[in-house]
Structures are given as structure tokens and as C-alpha cells.
């Protein structure tokens, strides 16, 4: 009797262990399916110096990646020297990949407005010229509509007293900038902070937006 009972106990334990493994495998597959369903989206923002835009958006929960680069122009594989000189039509910009289940496109646009001077058609802060002008490069009609609605909310004369000149454009080819430009704020933090302060970026944003001003600290 004891031997039969022992065999039965061992058999039941084996079945229980097998069932546990199957449940764990099912749970793992279900989690993998959930992660697959969470699709990342992209937007390209031009807000003057791409070091600063990258730094600001690296701090936003839900942003998976930021890449500094050039877009909006007509020259293939442009270099920093070419873009800075002018004539290529490119703007310094940052390609932002984000998880819309954590941060919405509308929220990113809201933060973008409050980190730049959208009334300046000649550049941003101390950086002048076409390559430093602002723009929102959208990936879909849905993004365009959302961005246009957000821009329209700034048209009230009481907001700025000046028109918002930042265009909403469909995204074109994006060319990543040279390696030394990527994550510059973490590679050269002292030089980056000196540049940002001396350029007057945060001072102007605070003067323009007051308590709504937003920027990475």
C-alpha cells in the first residue's frame, strides 16, 4: 500500500510540475504578444540646436530614442558643415521615437512649443539662419491634424502678440548627424551647459512662456 501510494504521489507531483511549466510558458507568450502590440511611433522636431532638443526630449517618459540629424532639404547625406553654411534646405532636427501608450503625440507637441520660440522666423536664440529655424515634421495625416490643432491654439493674440511661424510639414528623408553630435549633452556636459546658457535659450523660453516654459534641467 505504501509503495502504491508513493508512486501515486510521485505521479501527481510530476503532472503538477508539468502543468506549472505550461502555465508559465503561456504567460510568457502572452506578455510577448502584448509587447509586440505596443507599437512605437516617430516624429521629427526642429527647434534650433539639435543638442538642446535632444537633451530636452531625452527626459520625457515614453520617449524610446532621440537622434540628432538633418531633414527638410534637397541634398543627400548632408554634413554639419554643409547644413550650417546654408543652401541645402536642411534644418537641424531630432527624430524622436516614442511609445504612444506612455506619451501621446499631442503631449510631445505641447512640450515642443514650450521649449522654443515659435514666433522667430530667423533661427532660434543665438543661432541664426535657415538651418536653425523651427518646424514639426509629421509622419501621417493624423499627426498633421493634431499638430495643426495645437498650433491654432497659439494663434490668440493675447498669447504672444506675434504670429506663430513654425510650419507643420510632412516628413522627408532624415539624415543622422555625425557621431560626435549624438548625445552631446551627456558626452560633453560642461561644454553643452556653457553653450546653452550663453545662447540664452532657457532665458528666452522663460520670458516667452512664463510658468509654462519647459526644458530639461
| CA distances in angstroms from 176 to 4, 14, 71, 89, 166, listed in the order given | 71, 56, 9, 15, 22
Grid coordinates 543638442 are at which residue?
Answer: 51
| CA distances in angstroms from 211 to 94, 191, 206, listed in the order given | 25, 27, 7
Task: Confirm whether 49 is a catalytic residue.
Answer: yes
Per-residue pLDDT at 11: 46
Q: What is the mean pLDDT of the chain?
A: 87
Report field, pTM of the whole predicted structure over 0.75: yes
Per-residue pLDDT at 122: 97
Choice among 49, 52, 126, 199 that is catalytic: 49
Burial 185-209 (b: 16+ CB within 10 A, else e): beeeeeebeebbeebebbebbeebb
> How does pLDDT run across 3-35, given as a tens digit for each residue?
554 554 454 444 444 544 443 444 455 444 444
> How does pLDDT run across 111-163, given as a tens digit for each residue?
999 999 999 999 999 999 999 999 999 999 999 999 999 999 998 776 777 89
What is the average per-residue pLDDT within 158-171?
Answer: 89
Report the alpha-carbon distance of residue 20 to residue 25 in Å, rounded.
Answer: 9
Domain parsing of the chain, residue ranges: 1-37, 41-212
Q: Which residues, at least 6 apart from 212, have a Cβ–Cβ distance to it below 8 Å?
A: 114
**CATH number assigned to the domain covering 41-212:** 3.30.1060.10
Amino acid at each position: 500500500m505504501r509503495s502504491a501510494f508513493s508512486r501515486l504521489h510521485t505521479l501527481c507531483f510530476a503532472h503538477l510540475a508539468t502543468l506549472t511549466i505550461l502555465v508559465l510558458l503561456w504567460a510568457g507568450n502572452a506578455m510577448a504578444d502584448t509587447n509586440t502590440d505596443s507599437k512605437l511611433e516617430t516624429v521629427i522636431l526642429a527647434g534650433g540646436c539639435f543638442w538642446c532638443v535632444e537633451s530636452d526630449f531625452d527626459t520625457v517618459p515614453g520617449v524610446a530614442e532621440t537622434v540628432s540629424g538633418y531633414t527638410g532639404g534637397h541634398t543627400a547625406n548632408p554634413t554639419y558643415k554643409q547644413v550650417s553654411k546654408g543652401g541645402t534646405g536642411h534644418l537641424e532636427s531630432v527624430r524622436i521615437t516614442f511609445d504612444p501608450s506612455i506619451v501621446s503625440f499631442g503631449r510631445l507637441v505641447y512640450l515642443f512649443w514650450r521649449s522654443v520660440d515659435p514666433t522667430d522666423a530667423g533661427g532660434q536664440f543665438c543661432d541664426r539662419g535657415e538651418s536653425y529655424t523651427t518646424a514639426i515634421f509629421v509622419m501621417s495625416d493624423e499627426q498633421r491634424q493634431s499638430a495643426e490643432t495645437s498650433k491654432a491654439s497659439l494663434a490668440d493674440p493675447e498669447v504672444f502678440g506675434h504670429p506663430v511661424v513654425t510650419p507643420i510639414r510632412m516628413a522627408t528623408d532624415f539624415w543622422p548627424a555625425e557621431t560626435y553630435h549624438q548625445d552631446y549633452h551627456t558626452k560633453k556636459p560642461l561644454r553643452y551647459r556653457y553653450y546653452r546658457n550663453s545662447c540664452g535659450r532657457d532665458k528666452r523660453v522663460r520670458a516667452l512662456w512664463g510658468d509654462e516654459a519647459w526644458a530639461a534641467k
